[in-house]
Amino acid sequence: MTKPLVAILSGAGISTDSGIPDYRGPGGLWRRDPEAEKLVTYEYYMGDPEIRRRSWQMRRTNRTLLAEPNAAHRAVAELERSGVPVRVITQNVDGLHQLAGMPARKVLELHGTARTVVCTGCRAKAPMADALARVEAGEEDPPCPDCGGILKSATVMFGERLDPGVLGEALAITKACQVFIAVGTSLKVQPAAGLAGIAADHGARLVIVNAEPTPYDELADEVIREPIGTALPALLHRLGTEHGR
Catalytic residue positions, numbered: 111
Alpha carbon distances (Å) from 244 to 81, 83, 205: 13, 9, 18
Check the CA dihedral 19-21-26-29 and report its sign: positive
Q: By the 8 A CB rule, do 128 and 136 touch? A: no
Per-position DSSP letters for 50-100, written without gaps between them:
HHHHHHHHHHHH-SGGG----HHHHHHHHHHHTT--EEEEES--S-HHHHT
Alpha carbon of residue 202 to chain centroid? 24
Strand order in the sheet with 125-127: 125-127, 112-119, 151-155
Report the distance separating Cα 33 and Cα 6, nearest Å.
37
Question: Long-range contacts made by residues 211-219, C-beta under 8 angstroms, separation at least 24?
Answer: 211/13, 212/186, 214/182, 214/185, 214/186, 214/187, 214/188, 215/187, 215/188, 216/182, 216/187
Using DSSP, state whether 22 is helix, strand or coil.
coil
